[in-house]
């Protein structure tokens, strides 16, 4: 793994898509497991994509519903944009909904 974010201990990759990679991590301040979504570097270089990513995180953080994951933190360290989300250890959100 070639990623380090202050405040998080990254354990392993959970999945990868066109826009981001999701890692299993521990948020040190609260000692909790999180799904850490990190925006692809090529997209983070575009300010409009980076702002959209942060806006998505802020919007999701306002929601409270059983069919969404909780957003614990969003931000960036330099050009590395991230979203720390509720980790679902027993499957995906899709599986939880069904």
Domains: count for the chain: 1
| Burial of residue 78, with CB atoms counted within 10 A of its CB: 0-12 exposed, 13-18 middle, 19 or more buried | exposed
Q: Write out the binding residues.
A: 37
> Is residue 34, in this structure, part of any structural domain at all?
yes
> Is residue 1, in this structure, part of any structural domain at all?
no
Reported pTM: 0.87
E strands in the chain = 8-16, 20-27, 32-39, 71-77, 80-86
Q: What is the C-alpha separation between 98 and 95, in angstroms, rounded?
A: 5
Alpha carbon separation from 57 to 2, 15, 75 (Å, rounded): 23, 18, 9
> Is residue 48, in this structure, part of any structural domain at all?
yes
Q: Domain range spanning residue 73?
A: 8-97
Say which DSSP state 42 is in: H
> Is residue 15, in this structure, part of any structural domain at all?
yes
How many angstroms from the chain centroid is the CA of residue 76?
11
> Is residue 3, in this structure, part of any structural domain at all?
no
> Is residue 71, in this structure, part of any structural domain at all?
yes
Q: Write out the binding residues for ATP.
A: 37
- Tell me what pLDDT residue 97 has: 60
pLDDT (tens digit, 9 = 90+) per residue, 40-86?
999 999 999 999 999 999 999 999 888 888 999 999 999 999 999 99
Q: Which CATH number is 77's domain given?
A: 3.30.200.20
């Amino acid at each position: 793994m070639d990623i380090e974010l202050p405040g998080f201990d990254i354990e392993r990759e959970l999945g990868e898509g066109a826009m981001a990679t999701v890692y299993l991590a521990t948020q040190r301040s609260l000692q909790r497991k999180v799904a850490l979504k990190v925006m692809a570097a090529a997209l983070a270089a575009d300010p409009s994509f980076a702002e959209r990513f942060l806006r998505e995180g802020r919007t999701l953080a306002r929601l409270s519903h059983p069919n969404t994951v909780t957003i614990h933190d969003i931000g960036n360290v330099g050009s590395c944009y991230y979203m720390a989300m509720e980790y679902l250890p027993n499957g995906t959100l899709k599986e939880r909904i069904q």
